[in-house]
Chain A
């Protein structure tokens, strides 16, 4: 089996092979980490999807490879010697060929020589993509990747005057970028001129250096809005009982064991999805319902940006386990240590913008998923009960659905189920 650069999300086009976590001869089980992959979202632990022995590691640490590039060969039970030999040749060829078909797969030794030569040449970091594409078929987008290839940027020493540094902070000018253009010292005048140029270009100062994560989100969301016909539904849910129940439950527990309302909501979404499974899955030239539920939970990173790692196998977890998994997920996100399955296996997205005080969330579906559930802030609101009006804690739950996969009726059924589940929190345990 060939281990390829994994696609850690629809928006990923390439990744840097940061570090091999296994060496040749190691036996790995499904789910074991073989390598750390650096993406715009941080360092992700790349897992293997089958049991096997690491036969040959070919890809180099610190090099950026397009998604789908063969990186290593793993011998699984069903692989025979011939298959392995062929796979090794293919992998080496894919990584060493200067371009496409010109490089004939040769004897392993020969190929290694070629690779060494390529490595020592100036373009060592450039990955010959065409071979990989020819043989294994990388995503179409990888072609346009060539010019976006990470240039080996030499770190520059910024020699700016104190005033220039101050002005740069005020005007949002990137001194490092400026240092590449200005020879010698950067003065306040250089910064001011750079700021003026930025304004003339109509760019917001802070946009001078696009955050790769922002660009990744931008690509995914543009695709979503262009391809997915969204429908939106929302309904207010009375959370009074659920919160009261949680309060009583938590009162008996140590701080570590307490359950956050978010966990309860995730649990409710998962149970509602079991009743309305059409919303849990993908659109790939047709609707695919996922038998497993791996909700992607929107989590803000410390350094900015948002990630939606999967809470794996949420359907098999009770409330306590859900809370535990959520805590783990947040810690991993903030610590930059998510696994590749957490990055890739989301079947639906749950976003909760309640802490920012918004009332309703109408999300944008993360392709190829078909739905996104949003929660607003839990607010005290006038609430009619029978003939009386009372003040109740209410949350606005919403769903954004892919109209190709489901209709509004499916979404409505889901919200109705969700509402019902949150009225009986004890059943969510």
Chain B
């Protein structure tokens, strides 16, 4: 079944469907119940499923994330919503020391089938405590899977993929994408975890991006095409595991690399991707790799400063041209 809807609706629909199909699934987090979720993702679900399955929690990230881990270990399928990635750091001890490591530390006896959804990204003038992109940090941790939906289809599919996975999966949802519309095909076979997707074919350079920056990259590719540069745009989708195969295949095709990553440059996921390309396809490169990242500052509140701090289609175009000129 195909229909057009927003990202927000796709996530809500996915949670709704999952809760209908599986009684073990519940949603917990700050304001997810009566308020309908701070980004209105869970609007209406409390009325449908009641407070036992749509659980409003106190402002206590470590507490309710830990609760989710315990529930998961005991056979439930919790979806924990954390309002923004900045706040998730309060739950980092639970996420890393427990959720990510329990399977290993129990000698394989305990899986933790936990799903954590968190909001990421800048662009809504929410200043330094609500605007960061720390996906790269989480992608550093073995034992976690990190998914970043960009399209409506992925927003829907990834909730199901995460719930089906026996281990902790973190879904990063960009706040600016919630209102973006797209077509959802609920009958389509979801692309598995760990697989990237070529969104636009091109022969001159590969642009790797994820989340909202995928659309900035696609917009940049349109501009570049008008100037005769055919960029291939790849949606990374999964930051851990990374899809080396698709990445390297694209490098072999275009020989030039640009990475768009809203994380800070130093020690970012873009740095990891560059390292892997260097390890696996050095002799395919015809120009130094480049990346467009966020400025290494706390994301500012002021609109023009915020815009200046994060990737934009213009920055992507400029960087792409620089890569082409260097070759």
Residue numbers of A with Cβ under 8 A of B are 161-166, 185, 187-189
5 inter-chain pairs at a CB distance below 8 angstroms, sorted by A residue, are: A162-B282, A162-B284, A163-B283, A164-B286, A187-B327
What is the 8 Å Cβ interface bit string for chain B, positions 284-298, against chain A (1 contact, 0 not)? Answer: 111100000000000
Query: With A163-B284, A163-B286 known to touch, is A188 a contact of B326 (CB < 8 Å)?
Result: no
Q: A170 → chain B, closest Cβ, in Å? A: 10
Q: What residues of B have a CB within 8 angstroms of the CB of A162 in the complex?
A: 282-286
Residue of B nearest to A191 (CB): B286
- When the two chains form their complex, are residues A188 and B283 in contact, meaning their CB atoms are under 8 A apart? no
- The tally of CB-CB contacts under 8 A between chains A and B is 28
Given A162-B285, A185-B327, A189-B286, 11 other A-B contacts at CB below 8 A? A161-B287, A161-B327, A162-B282, A162-B283, A162-B286, A163-B283, A163-B285, A163-B286, A165-B283, A187-B327, A188-B327
Chain B residues contacting A187 (CB-CB under 8 Å) are: 286-287, 327
* A189 partner residues in chain B, CB cutoff 8 A: 286, 327
- Report Cα–Cα, A164/B326, bound state, in Å: 13
Is the CB of B237 closer than 8 A to any CB of chain A? Answer: no
Task: Judge if B12 is at the interface, Cβ distance under 8 Å.
Answer: no
B255 interface residue, CB < 8 Å from A?
yes
- B255 and A163 within 8 A (CB): yes
CB-CB under 8 A from B255, the residues of chain A are: 163, 188
Considering only CB atoms, which chain A residue lies closest to B284 in the complex? A163
> Roughly how many angstroms separate A163 CA and B287 CA in the complex, as a whole number?
8
Interface string of B56-100 (1 = CB under 8 A from A): 000000000000000000000000000000000000000000000
- Which residues on B are within 8 Å of A, measured CB to CB? 255, 282-287, 326-327
Determine the residue in chain A with the shortest Cβ distance to B255.
A163
**How close is B324's CB to chain A, nearest CB, in angstroms?**
10
Measured CA separation A165–B282 after assembly (Å)? 11
Dominant SS among interface residues on chain B:
loop
Q: Of B282, B283, B284, B326, which contacts A185 at CB under 8 A?
A: B326
A-side contacts of B327, CB under 8 Å? 161, 185, 187-189
Smallest beta-carbon distance A186→chain B, Å: 10
Would you give the shortest CB distance from A262 to chain B, in whole angstroms? Answer: 43
Please give, as numbers and ranges, the residues of chain A lying within 8 Å of B285 by CB-CB distance. 161-163
Q: How far, in whole Å, are A162 and B287 apart by their CA atoms in the complex?
A: 8
Question: Residue of A at shortest CB range from B281?
Answer: A162
Give B286's nearest chain A residue, CB to CB: A163
Q: How far is the CB of B206 from chain A (nearest CB, A)?
A: 13
For B327, the closest partner residue in chain A by CB is A187
Q: Which 4 A-B pairs have the closest CB atoms?
A: A163-B286, A166-B283, A187-B327, A161-B286
Nearest CB on A from B315, distance (A):
23
Point out the residues of chain A lying under 8 angstroms from B282, CB to CB: 162
CB contacts (< 8 Å) of A166 on chain B: these are: 283-284
**Which chain A residue shows the least CB distance to B288?**
A161
CA distance A187 to B284 in the complex (A): 11
CA–CA, A188 to B255, complex, Å? 9
CA distance A238 to B287 in the complex (A): 64
Query: Which of A161, A164, A185, A189 has the most chain B CB within a 10 Å cutoff?
Result: A161
Q: Which residues of A contact B284 (CB under 8 A)?
A: 162-163, 166
Bound state CA distance, A164 and B283, in angstroms? 8
Bound-state CA distance A187–B326 (Å) is: 8
Closest chain A residue to B251, Cβ basis = A163
Closest residue of chain A to B282 (Cβ to Cβ) is A162
Residue of A nearest to B326 (CB): A185
Highest count of chain B CB atoms <10 Å: which of A162, A185, A189? A162
Report Cα–Cα, A188/B286, bound state, in Å: 6
A165 to B283, CA, bound (A): 8
Q: B326 to nearest A CB, angstroms?
A: 7
A162 to B283 Cα, complex, angstroms: 5
CA–CA, A187 and B287, complex, Å: 8
A408 to chain B, nearest CB (A): 58
Minimum Cβ distance to chain A for residue B28 (Å): 50
Give the complex CA separation of A185 and B322 in angstroms: 13
Chain B residues, Cβ within 8 Å of A161: 285-287, 327
Closest CB in chain A relative to B218 CB, distance in Å: 26
Q: How far is the CB of A159 from chain B (nearest CB, A)?
A: 11
Q: Which residue of B lies closest to A184 (CB)?
A: B326
Chain A residues closer than 8 Å to B286, beta-carbon distance? 161-164, 187-189
Residue of B nearest to A166 (CB): B283
Residues of B within 8 A of A185 (CB): 326-327
CB distance from A182 to the nearest CB of B (A): 12
| A165 partner residues in chain B, CB cutoff 8 A | 283
Contacts of A164 in B (CB 8 A): 286
CB B104 to nearest CB in A, in angstroms, measures 37
Q: How far is B327's CA from A164's CA once the two chains are assembled, in angstroms?
A: 10
CB proximity of A392 to chain B, nearest CB, Å: 53
Report how far A160 CA is from B78 CA in the complex, Å.
Answer: 54
Alpha-carbon distance A240/B182, docked complex (angstroms): 88
Contacts of A163 in B (CB 8 A): 255, 283-286
B254: min CB distance to chain A, Å: 11
How distant is B174 from chain A, measured CB to nearest CB, in Å? Answer: 34
Distance (whole angstroms) from the CB of B247 to the closest CB of chain A = 16
Please name the residue on chain B nearest to A161 by beta carbon: B286
A187 to B323, CA, bound (A): 12
CB distance from A195 to the nearest CB of B (A): 15
Within the assembled complex, what's the spacing in Å between the Cα atoms of A165 and B255? 13
Q: In the complex, what residue of chain B is closest to A187 when comparing beta carbons?
A: B327
Which residue of the partner chain B has the closest CB to A165?
Answer: B283
CA distance A163 to B327 in the complex (A): 10
Q: Which residue of B lies closest to A164 (CB)?
A: B286
Complex Cα distance A166/B285, Å?
Answer: 10
Expressed in whole angstroms, the Cα–Cα distance for A185 and B283 within the complex equals: 15
Shortest Cβ distance from residue A298 to the other chain B in the assembled complex, whole angstroms: 39
A199 to B179, CA, bound (A): 57
Task: Give complex CA distance A406, B285 in Å.
Answer: 64
Bound complex: CA A318 to CA B323 (Å): 71
A188 nearest CB neighbor, chain B only: B286
Minimum distance in angstroms from A178 CB to a CB of chain B: 15
| Complex: A187 Cα to B255 Cα, angstroms | 10
**In the complex the two chains form, what is the Cα distance from A165 to B327 in whole Å?**
13
Tell me how far the C-beta of A16 lies from the nearest C-beta in chain B, rounded to whole angstroms.
37
Distance in Å: Cβ of A7 to nearest Cβ of chain B: 46
